[in-house]
Amino acid sequence: MAIRNLRYDGDEILRKKSKEIEKIDEKIIELAQDMMDTMHKWNGLGLSAVQVGVLKRLVVMDMYEEGEQYILINPVIIKEKGTQECDEGCLSFPNQYGKVDRPLEVIVEALDINGKKVRIKAKGLLAECISHELDHLEGILFTDKVKPGTLEVVNPENQKAGEKNQ
Ligand code: NI
């Protein structure tokens, strides 16, 4: 297990489309574990492989409640419902936050780390996080969707303890 280097705003890899994972081999399993560690180090709720420089359709998320850790391989949103306005950040945009509209509920299908097909019905924060992370797989960033005039740069010293990023 290892902490990987994050890719930040301005790195052109963040604009590229990630590729389907055809085989869940040891390299993918190691990548998923490293991503989980890297996300935890930076208090993230979610992280996409592209954010550690790997253009593969792999997302990890943690809602920090028991049993709420996810590794999603080749995830696809098959249904969206409603809208919620979210205060959002991103590990690739340190200290930047803004308001973004996200679906209130989503149903996502993916493979888990064992290659088993899973279907997750999510709402609220988890639905927001899934929408944000799946955008990364298309090269879409939250700053593309942020409501005009709501993007703020926060001094890290003023950041609330335990504030989470995606
Ligand atoms: Ni992000």
pLDDT tens for residues 76-124? 999 999 999 999 999 999 999 999 999 999 999 999 999 999 999 999 9
- pTM of the model as a whole: 0.93
As a whole number of Å, the end-to-end CA separation of the chain is 21
Ligand 1 centroid to residue 144 C-alpha, Å: 12
Ligand 1 centroid to residue 116 C-alpha, Å: 25
Count CB atoms within 10 A of the CB of residue 33: 15
By CB neighbour count within 10 A (0-12 exposed, 13-18 middle, 19+ buried), where does 66 fall?
exposed
Q: What is the pLDDT of residue 78?
A: 98
CA–CA separation, 43 vs 37, rounded Å?
Answer: 10
Given 3.90.79.10, 3.40.50.620, 1.10.3720.10, 3.90.45.10, which CATH number is that of 12-158? 3.90.45.10
CA–CA separation, 166 vs 46, rounded Å?
Answer: 5
Ligand 1 centroid to residue 117 C-alpha, Å: 24
Is 133 among the catalytic positions?
A: yes
Q: What is the mean pLDDT of residues 146-150?
A: 96
